[in-house]
Structure formats: structure tokens, C-alpha cells
Structure 1
Amino acid sequence: MKEKSEGGGGYVRADQIDLKSLDEQLQRHLSRAWTMEKNKKKEEEQEARSTRQEWEIDPSKLIIKSVIARGTFGTVHRGTYDGQDVAVKLLDWGEEGHRSEAELASLRAAFTQEVAVWHKLDHPNVTKFLGATVCASELHIQTDNGHIGMPNNVCCVVVEYCPGGALKSYLIKNRRRKLAFKVVVQLALDLARGLCYLHSQKIVHRDVKTENMLLDKTRTLKIADFGVARIEASNPNDMTGETGTLGYMAPENLRPEIPRCCPSSLANVMKRCWDANPDRRPEMDEVVAMLEAIDTSKGGGMIPLDHPQGCFCFRRYRGP
């Protein structure tokens, strides 16, 4: 009950306030506000999902852990995505203010076009692309001391994790022991099949090297790192040549002498692929057929580096 005061105002007697009723009204009000906020958040999430690209990851499902490799433009981390072991490649486009908005927009457009192609690829000899995000500011790297945030100009690519590491590391690790000829041919065959598939999709990798070939737990080779891959132009003259690791190298350096201990069946494949006339080089599906036809029982294995006959060649089996 409100009473009149001399100043024209009023007051309410405390003993006449229904506290229980007020509490119920407050609870109803808070419940309505909470429900409205919850519905608003749900609508925003649904809208974000509807506008999200097919290949975009859900940042909340990604855990980024320790660094497993470093490169010129970023780092590769071990991680998990939705409970699956993954490799997370973080590409750094430079510190804030280092690039103009136009440059950043161009980089984002090129990155978006690239991952839009990669996410459609599906082949046992091509690293499985799981997703990406153009803005990694929502992501955090997990450390022993907590979490580290990401700068704005970092984009993120998530791919399957290959525990065997890079082919280059595998070859270096085995440089003092003989690899079975069938193992070497199988690695070459895996690579050829992967490239054959990419070419069938009109994709040219343009940076095929042992660092960009990964091995899974069964030693299956998978092509990785599509950083310079491009969709094949309808006119080959439209393809830019200055890309990849090597800007220019003399043909005699790219085509070294094949050791005499290399089995002729494999040496012949190499010679055909190295033909000075590009029109006479085999298509990749033909390379696959040639490698499949090799009888690996006639090769002993790869000679260790310190063997007097040479390096990275093969020794024929001579019997007991």
C-alpha cells in the first residue's frame, strides 16, 4: 500500500509487500529473458551454419597441439578434430598492418578457391582434406601452460594425420640399410596413382618432392601440400611456370645419371619420364601401368649410401 507523504511522494510499507509474489514475477521475467537469449543464440548458430562453406570446420571441435613441422609460410601441428587424429597446418599471412586489405582479400580468395577444390578430392594416395577456416582468431593452441590465441591473419587447414611422416625423412632414416625393391616400386606406384588421379581431376600439383609425400601407418604414400597446386588451364600456355621449390635448374642436374645397379625395368620408366621432348613423355596412367608391370622379385633392394656401388640404387638378388 502506498502512503502519501508531505512532499507529494509516497512509500510502501514493508509489512504489506508480498515477497513471494515478487519473487515469482522476477523468476518468470528472468526465464523469459533467458529463453529469448537462448533462442537468439540458436538462430545465430543456425544462420552461421547455413552461411558456412561446405569445407569450413567447426572451431569448437578442433584441438591444436604441438608443432610437428615448420615451413616458410607457417607451421604444422598435431591435433584432434571431432575426436580424430589430424594434422593442422597454420598459414601465416603476416602481422596486422603488414599487408593491405586488398592483398589480404586476394590471399583469402585464392585460399578459398584452393580448399574448395581440395575438399572434393577422394583417393587413397591423396591426403584426406577434412576442412579449413579462413579466420583462425577463434582457435587456440593447447600447451602445457594453458592455451595460446591466434592472430587474425592466420588461416587453418585440417587434414588426416599420417604417422609415418614425410617420405624424405623415411629415406634418410633408411639410408644405411637396404630397402626391398618391392617397397621402392610400391612407393613409386602410390605416387603415380595419386598423380594420375589429380590429373584426371584437372589438377596439377607443381611441387612434387619427397617432403610433400607422407606415409600412413601401413607405409601407403599420400600426396600432400597443395600450396601451389592449380586447376589445369584449358590452354596450357596460361599456366604459370615459376612455382614450386625450384625456380630454375639445368636439365642435366634434374636428370642425373642412373646407377648401373638400378634394375632396367625401373630405369626405363625413369628415362621415359625424363625425355627431353615433353611430347614423348608418358601420361601418368601409362606410368602406373609400367610400374604395375615390374616384377619386383628380380630386385634385391636399395643399396645403402656408404656402399661402394653408389647411392639410392638397387641390387639384384644373386641367390645363396
Structure 2
Amino acid sequence: MEFKSKNLKDSKPWPWTKCFHPIKGKVAAAKVAKKWSLDHSSLIIGQKFSHGAHSNIYEGKYNDEHVAIKIVTIPNDEEKGSLASLLEAQFMKEVTFLPLLHHQNVVKFIAACKDNNGYCVLTEYASGGSLRSYLNKLKSKPMPLKKILGFSLDIARGMEYIHSQGIVHRDLKPDNVLVGEDYRLKIADFGIACDASKKCDSWSGTYRWMAPEMIKKKQYGRKVDVYSFGLMLWEMVTGILPYKGMTPVQVAFAVSDKNSRPEIPSNCPNVIGNLIQQCWDMKPEKRPEFWQIVQVLEKFDQSLYGIDGRVLNLVQNHCSRDHYHHNKKVVFLHWIQKV
């Protein structure tokens, strides 16, 4: 495939050829993807706005719907055969898992295309970019508590739904969470997700957010996503990249061999700090489930702002430990410790 960007105002459809042309020995993969075959005559590709290690992401329109278009080109070099196989496996997981998920906090799948030279996946367009880009714009400044609770609840609700569908994401991090309209977060990128009912591959993900059992290549399950969520919540609270200044290998060693975790700041709310520690516990069985995390965050949000969203008078400074002793509604901390 050769792709060039074009102006969205141009009504001429983008020429798309050989979609789902089966590669020898890969007919089964093509059949799965063909269910979601896109109509190339209805696709307009606009400007590139992001990229990954092996992909470019464009803004576009499909049947008059604003979409994000991820295009992956397969390397031709025979020495890169393993990379080509990896990219195909990631594409197949995207078109296997993402179309099954329908939730306001999960990016919506639109269509997909596959041919001899590459892959394409269309999803809804998130105008706010990734959570990573949002955090970078803050320049290491922490978010307001209200925003932290809103964002963390969006992620937790999305992950609660994903786990309920028997899927483990395995690469939950700010880069793979998108910011949609009204700052609604949506979980994306299911290229290395796995079926929870089957044995997942021994290794996948990103070291900085990877659970220790994955680093050690031990058997693991959905609690690896809870660990990653704990690191994301810590980053939203502090505004700092976890293990900043350390290489991925140094992070892996510190987490798995030294049981090292980032320091929770003294001005962090007790409930949030304890929840973070629960999420990144070394033992997966001690980490809460996402439905429990949602309950904790919802109760904390209501205790601070009330059911109608108004700030309660008892809240003077969300980073002060003392005011929590006066807030009798925050009595569910002991419940977290029982998880």
C-alpha cells in the first residue's frame, strides 16, 4: 500500500486497492478481517497527526463520519520476517477484540482493511489526542483533583467492561488512552490484548507500566491491567512520568527484583494514595478488581463534591490530610484494605 494525505475538503474518495487480498497461508486471517471490510470509495484520508513505531495515524472521514485511520506498512526485507509476523498478529488482535467492545470509555471500531503490503484500522476520532499528550501539556504539573477523579473513573469503568468481556489489555498506559469530546477518556490499542480464558503470551507490554509477574515471565491474568492503572493514577496525581530518568531495563529490575515503586507525595489524598498502593501490590491477588476501584472512586467523588457535583463546604484543600478526619463519609478506606 502507498498512502498520501489529502485535504478533507476534497470530496474525491481515496483510491484503495486489493483490500483483503489473501496472502498465501493466511487465508483464515483474511476471512476474520473481511467481516469488517471498509468501502474504500467512502474513505477520505486527511493529514497525519500521530505515529507509532511501525504505523502512521491520519485524520479522515468515512461515510461522513470523523475517523482516525491507523496505517501499518509491512516491511519487505526478508530479515524482518519476524517483525512482519508480529505486526500481522497485532492487527488480527485489533480486529478480533475491538469490534466486540461497545462502551463509552472504549474507542469505537469502524472498519479495517488488509492486503499484501499493510493493514489499516479505522476507529472513531478523538479530538483531544492521547492522555500522554494531555499530560505532557501540563509540564509536570498535577491535575486538579476533580479532573483526576473524572479521568480515573473513565479508565476504570472502561477496564471494568473490558475485563467483563474476558479480555486482558496488557498495555494500559497514557499513550493508549484517548481524550474524546467533553474530556471523555477512551481506551484504545488492543494490538497485544489477550483472551483471559486462555494462557496469555509470557511477555507483552511496556516496562514502565508492566506488572512484576509479567516482567518475570510468570503466569498472570487480568490483574496486570490493575497494576498499570495504579501507575497511571500516580502520574495523574504527581504530573511526573513514572521512574523518570530510568531506562526500561532499569525499571524492570527495580520493579521485579527490588519491589520498587514511585514515592507517593505526602499531600496526596489518603484514599487515592492507598488505592494506588493496592493497585501496584507485588501480589496480584491483593490488587482490587476494576469494579471495586470504580466503587471506591465514585464514593470518594461523591464525598467531596456531592451527588450533584457541587463542592462540599468541608473541602478546603484536596491535598490536606487533616480534612479527611473531619469527613465522616470517607469511611470506606478500611474496605480497600480488605480487598
Structure 2 length as normaliser, TM-score?
Answer: 0.63
* Residues 221-260 of structure 1: pairs in structure 2 closer than 5 A: 221-234=185-198, 238-246=199-207, 248=215, 249=252, 250-251=254-255, 255-260=261-266
Counterpart CA distance in 1 for 2:150 and 2:200 is: 31
Q: CA deviation at 1:90?
A: 0.6
Distance 2:32 2:121 in 1: 19
Match of 2:122 in 1: 158
Q: What per-residue deviation string (whole Å, max 9, x for no partner) do you get for residues 131-152 of structure 1?
A: 10112xxxxxxxxxxxxxxxx4
> Which of 272, 275, 282 is equivalent to 2:278?
272
- Alignment correspondent of 1:286: 292
Equivalent position SS for 1:208: coil
Give the counterpart letter for 1:116 in structure 2. Answer: T
1:280 to partner: Cα distance: 1.2
The 8 Å contact of residues 55 and 132 in structure 1, kept in 2 or not, is answered as yes
1:129 aligns with 2:129: no
Q: Aligned to 1:201, which of 153, 165, 173? A: 165
CA distance in 2, matches of 1:51, 1:81: 21
1:64 aligns with 2:28: no
Alignment-mate amino acid for residue 87 of structure 1: A
CA distance in 2, matches of 1:98, 1:82: 39
Greater share of strand residues, 1 or 2?
A: 1
> Post-superposition shift, 1:300?
4.5
For the 8 Å contact 2:130–2:175, the answer to whether it is kept is yes
> Partner of 1:142 in structure 2?
none
- Contact kept? 1:196, 1:284, Cα under 8 Å: yes
Structure 2 unaligned spans of 5+:
1-30, 216-251, 306-314, 324-339
Counterpart position of 1:261:
267
1:152-192 Cα deviation digits (max 9, x unpaired)? 41110000000011111111212366632111111011001
Contact 1:300/1:317 (CA < 8 Å) preserved in 2? no
Number of residues of Structure 1 aligned to a counterpart in Structure 2: 237
SS at the partner of 1:88? strand
Cα drift, residue 111 of structure 1: 3.0
Can you list the C-alpha shifts for 1:249-293, whole angstroms capped at 9, x where unaligned? 122576211001100011111111122221111111111111111
- The code of the aligned residue for 1:72 comes to A
Match of 2:76 among 73, 78, 95: 95
Amino acid at match of 2:91: F
What is the letter of the counterpart of residue 184 of structure 2?
T
2:42 pairs with 1:77: no
The structural deviation recorded for 1:57 is: 1.1
| Stretches of structure 1 lacking an aligned partner (at least 5 in a row) | 1-49, 136-151, 302-313
1:212 corresponds to: 176
**Largest Rg, 1 or 2:** 1
Paired-residue identity, %: 36
